[in-house]
């Protein structure tokens, strides 16, 4: 599955997105707060709740931006590895104290990690920016430990007609102007509107995740469907071969594995 915007190749689009995020760092957090009327904070908290983090968890926060989610996860006692391809975003996250030395600058579709090392993986407001979704999902599946949880938070479109119309009016008129004034790039916020309008819908994204082997996939709309959270799992390893019947050993050399 390719998600195309403006007929760019994945390579061209990534280069454009990377330089766009590198250029809006200073106003990025403030623009988020104002444009979402502060609701983005509660959406991010929902991601961490669905990750159900424990101190023993090792969590990968993909497209971490300035690290608001990474900080919330670290607050649960879990270990976090933050990843983003914008050096400036990571740098800003470090200044905010959200991102630590484990942070990695890399492409989300080429994760520089061994197989099955994270107990949880999350991505908030990032998947809409990734053109090669199939490659990305295969990478997440690879680095996730069997039984591990994958949580996606993404902006979506309202379902109800009147609100949808008002929302699109806001997306194409008010949002680029306010975002552009605060973060210094009208183009970046025009791009945001365009991708919210055209990104694949929750049912399709769920079907693609299923194709990649994820199980127990659910998605939940938030705030009149402006945002959607998707929760899924990598299947646990089949451990049935470990269970040996405990009734009447038929042979004195039977071994019971505890």
Q: How far is the CB of 77 from ligand SAM (least distance, A)?
A: 21
Q: What distance in Å separates the CA atoms of residue 205 and residue 157, rounded to the nearest whole number? A: 14
Question: Which of 48, 47, 44, 26 has the alpha carbon at shortest distance from 36?
Answer: 44
Q: How far is the CB of 245 from ligand SAM (least distance, A)?
A: 49
Is there binding between residue 129 and ligand SAM (CB under 6 A)?
yes
Q: What distance in Å separates the CA atoms of residue 124 and residue 213, rounded to the nearest whole number? A: 21
Q: How far is the CB of 36 from ligand SAM (least distance, A)?
A: 10
Q: Which one of 1-9, 48-56, 121-129, 211-219 is the stretch in contact with ligand SAM (CB under 6 A)?
A: 121-129
Give 113-149 as a DSSP string: S-TT-EEEEEEES-GGG-SBHHHHHHHHHHHEEEEEE
Is there binding between residue 231 and ligand SAM (CB under 6 A)?
no
Residue nearest to ligand SAM (CB): 65
> Tokens 């983003």 appear where?
84
Q: Binding marks (x or -) toward ligand SAM, 48..87, rule CB under 6 A?
A: ---------------xxx--xx--------------xxx-
Q: Binding marks (x or -) toward ligand SAM, 16..35, rule CB under 6 A?
A: -x---x--------------
Is there binding between residue 93 and ligand SAM (CB under 6 A)?
no
Q: What distance in Å separates the CA atoms of residue 225 and residue 194, rounded to the nearest whole number? A: 17
End-to-end CA distance of the chain: 44
Q: Binding marks (x or -) toward ligand SAM, 94..113, rule CB under 6 A?
A: -------------xxx----
Q: How far is the CB of 234 from ligand SAM (least distance, A)?
A: 20
Q: What distance in Å separates the CA atoms of residue 193 and residue 199, rounded to the nearest whole number? A: 10
């Amino acid at each position: 599955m390719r998600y195309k915007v403006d007929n760019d190749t994945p390579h061209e689009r990534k280069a454009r997105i990377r330089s766009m995020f590198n250029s809006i760092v200073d106003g990025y957090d403030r623009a988020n707060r104002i444009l979402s009327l502060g609701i983005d904070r509660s959406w991010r908290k929902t991601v961490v709740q669905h990750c159900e983090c424990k101190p023993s968890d090792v969590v990968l926060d993909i497209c971490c931006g300035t690290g608001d989610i990474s900080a919330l996860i670290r607050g649960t006692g879990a270990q976090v590895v933050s990843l983003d391809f914008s050096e400036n975003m990571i740098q800003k996250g470090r200044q905010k104290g959200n991102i630590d030395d484990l942070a990695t600058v890399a492409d989300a579709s080429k994760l520089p990690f061994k197989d099955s090392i994270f107990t949880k993986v999350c991505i908030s407001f990032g998947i809409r920016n990734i053109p090669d979704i199939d490659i990305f999902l295969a990478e997440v599946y690879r680095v996730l430990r069997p039984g591990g949880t994958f949580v996606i938070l993404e902006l979506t479109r309202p379902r109800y007609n009147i609100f949808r119309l008002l929302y699109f009016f806001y997306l194409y008129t008010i949002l680029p102007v306010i975002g552009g004034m605060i973060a210094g790039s009208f183009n970046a916020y025009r791009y945001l509107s365009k991708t919210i309008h055209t990104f694949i819908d929750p049912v399709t994204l769920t079907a693609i995740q299923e194709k990649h082997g994820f199980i127990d996939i659910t998605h939940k709309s938030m705030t009149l469907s402006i945002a959607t959270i998707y929760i899924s799992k990598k299947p646990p390893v089949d451990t049935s071969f470990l269970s040996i019947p405990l009734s009447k050993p038929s042979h004195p050399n039977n071994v019971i594995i505890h």
